[in-house]
Structures are given as C-alpha cells and as structure tokens.
Structure 1
Amino acid sequence: MIGIGEAFSPRYAQARQKFLQACVSAGLAVEPHAHPGKGQDGEELSMDVALDGAANAERLLIVSSACHGVEGHCGSGVQVFALHDAEWREKARAQGVAVLYVHALNPHGFSFGRRVTHEGVDLNRNFVDFSKPLPANDAYAKLHPLLVPEAWPPTPENQAALEKWIGKHGAAAFQAAVSGGQYQFDDGLFFGGKAETWGNKTLRSVLRRHAGGARRLGWIDLHTGLGPNGIGERIFAGKDDKAAYARANDWWGTPAAPVTSTYDGSSTSAQLRGLMCEAVYQECPAAEYTGIALEYGTLPLLDVMNALRADHWLHKHPEAPADLADGIRARMREAFYTDTDAWRGQVVSQARQAMFQAVDGLEA
C-alpha cells in the first residue's frame, strides 16, 4: 500500500513519475502516447495507458484522469493509489474484470495548470460531428465580452452587468450558458473547438485498441470543480438512455445518493455538448456501456467560474504583472484541487468505493 498523501502530486511531471513507478511496481506495461508539445518546465508530455488484466477481457473498467488538465491532481492521485492497492487489484482480477488506466487525457492542461488543451479546447466538449454545422450557443455569445473582459480584475461595471444578467435569467441559466459548451469563441470559456483535438484522436485510438472487443464496458472519469467540497457526485455519463441510466444507478446509486443526470436536472452540472463518452458509442459499438463522471467539489461555483475567467484573461495577456499572474494560477489550482489531507482522503475513499461497485456491476 501507499499513503493517501503520497499518491497525490503538486505538479504534472511528479504525477506522471508516480504513475509510471506504480505501474512498474504492479508489473504492468505502460503504453505512452507522446504529446506534440512540452510541459511548463520543458518536460515530456504524454497520455499514458496501462492495462491491468487480460488483453481480450470481455469486461473492462476504464479509470481516467485529467480530461480537464488541472483536475488531474485529483484523478492521478486516485489512479496511483489504486495501482498500489492490492485488495482492489485482487478484487478486479478475481471477478474477471480488466482495468484500463488512462493517465492524463490532457497532459498539457495538467502541466500548465489550465483546464483546456494546448489547442485551447475543452476536451469534454470536443466530441461532436465536425462535418456538420456546429451547435449554437446564443446565450454564451451575449455573455462572452463580459466573461473575458479587457481588464483583470474586472471593473465594477463588468461585475454589475454580469450580476444583472444572472438576476434576470437565474444562476442555473448562467451556468448552462457558460458551461454547456460553445464553438464560436476560441478565446472563450468551454470552447469545444473547430476540429478534433490531439486528445480526442488519441483517446479514440486507445479505445479501439483496448476496448473495441469488450462486451461490457464501465468508465469512471475523474473530475473536480462542482458541488460541495470533497463530495464526489456520481453524474451519469452517456446518451439519454433510460436503461443505461438505470444500470448506472444499480451500480453506483443509493436511495440517499442516486446517480444524478443532466438530462433530468438532478445534477449540479448543466446539460453539456460534445461529451467524451460519445467516443465509446462510435469506437466500441458492440459494448454495453455504463459510465459516470465522478465529480468532486472544491470551491463555490461562481468562485470556480471566476478562476476560469481569470485564466482565460491571463492567456490573452501574457504581459500581466508577475504577482497578478501568480495569483491567477494559484486560484485556478484552488478551484480544482483542495490541497488538504482531509480532501484527499475523501477523494480516495469515494473513488475506491465506486471502483469496487463498478467491478460488481460488470460481473453481474
């Protein structure tokens, strides 16, 4: 075993080394997918993949991290702990379930402390059909000049205008407009892109290679930034399919804490476009798929939104004073990673429970 605190890392390069070392200790081969760029400190970037179990397993659980870069502090810690967890590994093996760890879906964002990819894209809004007209988000278009203003911190006038919009339309409408995904403003928040990103293409190849033959497929994708601090909301990640949602609730839900859904409004997340799980239906069409995003709370929603706004402003203004830039980067990390032992303990215990439940669900 490894201590919970030891499994987590303050920087991407350290997180990657811990993941690679954990794979070596577990006797697993690592399949690196080199990113075309370099990290913040010039380090190599990679989406690293390790399979624990039979290559031709009909039952497969995917555990993935850092879809949204900076959220990888959390997800990587869960993966590293799991690879050192003999009881967990024996549980999956005994029930004939192979586990595919996908470490750092977005290594650029993880290294640079950003939510977006090197293309400036939200990877979890990028899985749309780019051969067709892209989804419109008229509400975001009206908000964009306010969300990424010319000056930071925002002027009182900017803040008043945003508060007026929220007062008129409501906080839920604001969250939906901003976070649902937009395809018009490449310097804006939750930008879904104009084409498939490197992460999109690479993940698809991983799914084809390791999950294309699975008969039953589960996926736990680890996220942070929504909900009460330290609470892991289990958000249904799939098409609007009642049978799949019922199956997810059978695996992971309880009467007191059912799996939530963006389709019925029970989730803290708004309904989103271009979700990563779309790739499963296209690359693994023979599999019965059941998935969740395990979303851990950090700061209040508007604080998280303001951290993202500042991050996008800073990307447009690299000439910003060092103290302002450092403060923005620190706030981004706080928005997606609560650096306390208590929070890390909550993260691991809830993820571990969800992983055990997934194995039981896949065996049933």
Structure 2
Amino acid sequence: MNPAACFSQTYAQARQKFLAACAELGLPVESQLHPLRGAEDEELAIDVARSGPLDAKHVMLISSGCHGVEGFCGSAVQVALLQDEAFQRQARDASCAVVYLHAANPYGFSWLRRWTHENVDLNRNFQDFSQPSSHNPDYPGLHALLIPQRWPVTLPNRLRLLSHLVKLGRKRMQKAISSGQNSHPDGLFYIGNAPTWSNEAVRAIISQHASRCQHLVWVDIHTGLGPKGHGERIYSGPANSPMLERARRWWGEGVRSSQEGQSVSVPLSGLMVYGAVGEYTPSAFTALTLEFGTLPGPQVLDALRAEQWLHNNPGAGEPRRQQIKRQLRDAFYVDEPQWKEDVLRQAREVVRQAISGLNQETSGAQ
C-alpha cells in the first residue's frame, strides 16, 4: 500500500476516496447531508459505513474530522484500514463490527476551518445545555489579544500575550485558550449555546450503531498537538476509572490521561466521544483520542488566530485569504511522506491492539 495515496488535498477528494474504498468492499454508506455547500460547491455529509453485523457484540467506531481541517489525517487512516485485508480479517475473527464515521464536521473539513459552520468547537459542544455552562474566567481577558482588529499582529500584541503567559503559566494559559469558552461567539474554542448540526447527527449515528453492542471501542483521530509525527494516545475520561485501566492494558502504559495532567491536552469537557454515547452507553465502553503532532504549538495557535480573524473579517482580500487558509491546513496536516507513513503505522497499531484487547476481555470473561 502506498501511504500517500490514502491522503487527499481537499475534502471532496477525501470523501471520494472514502466512498470508493467502501464500494470496493461492498459496504453500503449512509450519509447525513449537511445543510450548506462546500468550498468547491460540493455536497457536504457525514458518511458512515459499517463492516460487520448489526447484532455484533463488539463494535469499534473510528471517527475523523471532528475538528474539520484535521480530517485529512483521519480520513486517510479510514481509507487505509478499509484497504487493509489483515485488519478486516482480524476484526471478523474477533466478531467485532467496525464503523467508520467519516468527517464529523464536513463543513470545517471543506472550508479549512477547525470549527463548525456555527463557529463552534464540536469537541466542546457535547454539553447539557439545560444547565448553566461552566465559565472560563481567563478567556475574556485574552480575547482581544488573540483576535485583534488587524492582522498580521504587531510586536506589542505578542509581548502582551507573552506577559499573560508569564503571569498564568503554560498550563493555565493553554487551558484559558483551549478548554472552551461561552463568552465570545466570535472567538476561539467557542462551545456554543445549543447542540450543533454535527452534534445531533453524530448522536443519531451512535444510537443506530452502538446501542445494541456489549462493548463499544471508539478511536477518535485528531492532529495539532505534540511532537511532529508522534501519535499520542490520550484517555480523557474519569480518573481512576476501569476504562483507564483497560486502555493501558490494551495500548500500554504510554496512554496519557488529560484529567491527570499527563497529556499534551488539558482537561476538557463536552467531548464528542463521551457526550455522544450518553444514554446509549453499552455495558463496556473504551475510548481513545489518537492525537498526531504537526507543528510547534505557537505556530498552530497563530494559524488558528489568523483564520478566526479572517472569519470575522470576510472582506479581507483573496491573496490574504488563501495564505491564511493554507497556513491553517499546514498546521493540522503535514503534507510530507514520512509524516504520512508515521500516521498510518501508528493508527494501524492502535486499532489492532484494540481488537486484541477485545479478544482478551472476551477470553477472560469465559
């Protein structure tokens, strides 16, 4: 298999490769159509394919594109696994159905945004909006610095952000920016005030594919944090949970818990992999975020800031728009052969370890 052939340059191309790989296996695809069109005036959709019976005891869900532009990586992983005969055989032998959820946020994927069309971070949006949302006290003081009126930013702007970093410390600063906020709808990492279109679509998919199984394994693929090419295995559920113990049995002691402060990610709420399961939680649930590093953190943040400024200033000229969009794509998708090889190798290892773990759990229960 040529790793580069699994990757795409646009959402439209990625979707076509995914649909073609499903067709090659004879897998039917169900599509949740998005209400808007894409950057190439193409149809946008969350596409779902399932390999394995509807009454399978075990289900592995592999999802891509929660954060839009990060979908280039996750889509390629899904295409590679659909073409991996050894993985398909291993899943069948373990009586494990595999569900491929392609492009949870197709709008962001196509338009090169991390956020949904509502300007919401989908991975902070799985909240109970009937309850008061938690306030992020540090974000309001940073918003005007993060998204200034003019772009590119000035040296004084960078110095003021640096002073906040010194004052708050690295972890608190990261939490202030990225943990989610409900005070500025035109800002970064906005959680929204209601479930987004993608939120409701993903919940419906989980209800259909995971409500009848005994054990759901969910691998959600992301990019943008950590060393270039390294796939950090992140557990984001409750600390001291049997799920954490199980994750480390399956994937090794290298599994990092964001809740315990070990991960490149800060503790988060409103995550898709936990919020979407909700009332449909099977008797056993194991979730892992697979986060692939791209560029250094300051460059990734600068790309997000620039793109949000562009979104807030739609009258910016076309050359600047193209430059900022390319900057964002490069921050979440490293278009280099070695990075692509590293991504597919580590992703295959993770899903195969999960199948082996399910086998061990089943054997131990007998």
| TM-score (norm: length of structure 2) | 0.96
1:39-78 map, 5 Å: 39-78=38-77
CA contact (8 A) 1:127 1:275 kept: yes
Q: Is the partner of 1:134 in helix, strand or coil? A: coil
* Partner of residue 20, structure 1: 19
* Partner of residue 242, structure 1: 241
Could you tell me how far apart the structure 2 residues matched to 1:85 and 1:151 are? 48
* Partner of residue 7, structure 1: 6
CA contact (8 A) 2:237 2:259 kept: no
CA contact (8 A) 2:60 2:217 kept: yes
Structure 1 position 177 matched with structure 2 position 176: yes
* Partner of residue 299, structure 2: 303
1:321-332 map, 5 Å: 321-332=317-328
* Partner of residue 287, structure 1: 283
Could you tell me how far apart the structure 1 residues matched to 2:302 and 2:238 are? 30
Greater mean alpha carbon deviation, residues 163-172 or residues 274-283 = 274-283
Q: Deviations over 1:325-357 (max 9, x none)?
A: 221111101110000010000000000000001
| TM-score (norm: length of structure 1) | 0.97
Deviation at 1:172, TM superposition (A): 1.6
* Partner of residue 134, structure 2: 135
Q: 5+ residue gaps in structure 2?
A: 361-366
* Partner of residue 103, structure 2: 104
Q: Deviations over 1:183-236 (max 9, x none)?
A: 121111111100000111000000100100111111110000000000000000
Deviation at 1:134, TM superposition (A): 1.1
Could you tell me how far apart the structure 1 residues matched to 2:263 and 2:357 are? 22
Deviation at 1:318, TM superposition (A): 1.3
* Partner of residue 222, structure 2: 223
CA contact (8 A) 1:189 1:309 kept: yes
Deviation at 1:237, TM superposition (A): 3.3
Q: Deviations over 1:121-140 (max 9, x none)?
A: 00000011100111100101
Could you tell me how far apart the structure 2 residues matched to 1:281 and 1:106 are? 17
Deviation at 1:239, TM superposition (A): 3.3
* Partner of residue 350, structure 2: 354
Could you tell me how far apart the structure 2 residues matched to 1:85 and 1:190 are? 35
CA contact (8 A) 2:127 2:275 kept: no
* Partner of residue 334, structure 2: 338
Amino acid at match of 1:95: A
- RMSD (CA atoms): 1.0
Structure 1 position 206 matched with structure 2 position 205: yes
CA contact (8 A) 2:108 2:117 kept: yes
Greater mean alpha carbon deviation, residues 273-282 or residues 43-52 = 273-282
* Partner of residue 363, structure 2: none
Q: Is the partner of 1:42 in helix, strand or coil? A: coil
Deviation at 1:281, TM superposition (A): 4.2
Q: Deviations over 1:132-173 (max 9, x none)?
A: 111100101111111110010112221111011001211221
Q: Is the partner of 2:145 in helix, strand or coil? A: helix
Q: Deviations over 1:79-125 (max 9, x none)?
A: 00110111110010011111000000000000001000011100000
CA contact (8 A) 2:236 2:267 kept: no
Could you tell me how far apart the structure 2 residues matched to 1:132 and 1:106 are? 25
1:140-179 map, 5 Å: 140-179=139-178
Deviation at 1:293, TM superposition (A): 0.5
* Partner of residue 261, structure 1: 257
CA contact (8 A) 2:32 2:201 kept: yes
* Partner of residue 364, structure 2: none
Could you tell me how far apart the structure 2 residues matched to 1:173 and 1:306 are? 18
Could you tell me how far apart the structure 1 residues matched to 2:238 and 2:51 are? 27
Amino acid at match of 1:352: R
Deviation at 1:322, TM superposition (A): 2.2
Q: Deviations over 1:220-269 (max 9, x none)?
A: 10000000000000000323352111111111124xxx100111111010
1:185-204 map, 5 Å: 185-204=184-203
Deviation at 1:287, TM superposition (A): 3.0
CA contact (8 A) 1:214 1:284 kept: no
Could you tell me how far apart the structure 2 residues matched to 1:67 and 1:287 are? 25
* Partner of residue 28, structure 2: 29
Same amino acid, percent of matched pairs: 46
Greater mean alpha carbon deviation, residues 281-290 or residues 111-120 = 281-290
Could you tell me how far apart the structure 2 residues matched to 1:58 and 1:95 are? 10
- Compared with structure 1, are the counterparts of its residues 335 and 178 closer, same or farther at alpha carbon in structure 2 (3 Å cutoff)? same
Amino acid at match of 2:31: P
